[in-house]
Amino acid sequence: MHKSICSAALALLVLTGLASGCGGQTTPVETEAATPSPVEGLAALVNGEPITAEEYEKQVAQVEAFFAQEGLDPQSEEGRERLAQARRQVLEQMIDQTLIQQAAAEMGVNISESELEASILDIIEQSGGEEQFNQSLQAMDTAYEDFRQMLLNQLLSEAVYSTVTASISSVAEQVQARHILLPTRERAQEVLARLQAGEDFAYLAKEYSEDISSRERGGDVGFFPRGVMPPEVEEVAFSLEVGAVSEIVESQFGFHIIQVLGREDREMTVEVFESLRQQMFMQWLQDRRQDAAIERFLE
């Protein structure tokens, strides 16, 4: 059976735990050591709310079924490593989902029955009809009610995501800057001295910058808001007057010389706007984790 739209949608729902938040960015999670379960059949407790071992194993089985469908050999070294990682991530995703559901209740966020049914009908239609939809569920070893619950969780997560990130405006103060990235402070000092002697910034960027993405544009990285660039670069760029050239700025990437070309309030690109929303949501979720009472009971 060829992979249908429904199969792809189902795989996305099953594997939500292998990517964090609503943006799909992988986020490492530091897990606490498991402690013996005080109650038989528990995988975890989140603020006193149980995650059952049965539900955990059911979700693990769905991920394993997806891997098998993709041709991963569970007996291979890669297969064993990916499945072991998936088991850990499934539990962390279930913890995150529980935290999101608890937050949704506090916020008064919910998904109506009509919204859920409309989403299901849309997936069925896009998959080519009910027969193809049911075949996809069978291929993923997933019962309809389990799929329905996964979709409900996903829609609820998206609604909470929208609520948490609602304060971010797509219009923000941005600077247009160019930079020359150099591997050592000594080389940066040489280039800075040549700039101060009157040599052309764009020419030196093309000759010496190690940032290949901006080098051919004379070091121009375009407009960007706060929260996108390395913090050391951002701090200097937003403090400079238009036309000014910075001293040497060190970041994890090397040594920068920065010049600001413009400054204005403007619409962000879709990619930058979504990246900032994802950062905000992941910080919110991390804060929820830190404030929560989480007990894990799996080896």
Phi, psi of 224 (to 5 degrees): -150, 145
pTM of the model: 0.75
What percentage of the chain exceeds 70 in pLDDT?
Answer: 87
**CATH code of the domain containing 223:** 3.10.50.40
Lowest mean pLDDT among 40-44, 72-76, 153-157, 276-280: 72-76
Rounded to an integer, the average pLDDT of 67-74 is: 79
273, part of any domain: no
53 lies in a domain? Answer: yes
* One domain, residues 157 and 177: no
Q: Does residue 215 have a pLDDT over 50?
A: yes
* 272 assigned to some structural domain: no
Say if residue 13 is in the same domain as residue 59: yes
15 domain-assigned: yes
The string of pLDDT tens digits covering residues 270-290 is 999 999 999 999 999 999 999
What is the mean predicted confidence (pLDDT) over 188-201? Answer: 97
In this structure, what CATH number is given to the domain that contains residue 75? 1.10.4030.10
Confidence of residue 299 (pLDDT cuts 50, 70, 90): low
Residue 270 located in a structural domain = no
Q: Which domain holds residue 82?
A: 5-167+278-296
Instruction: State the total domains in the chain.
Output: 2
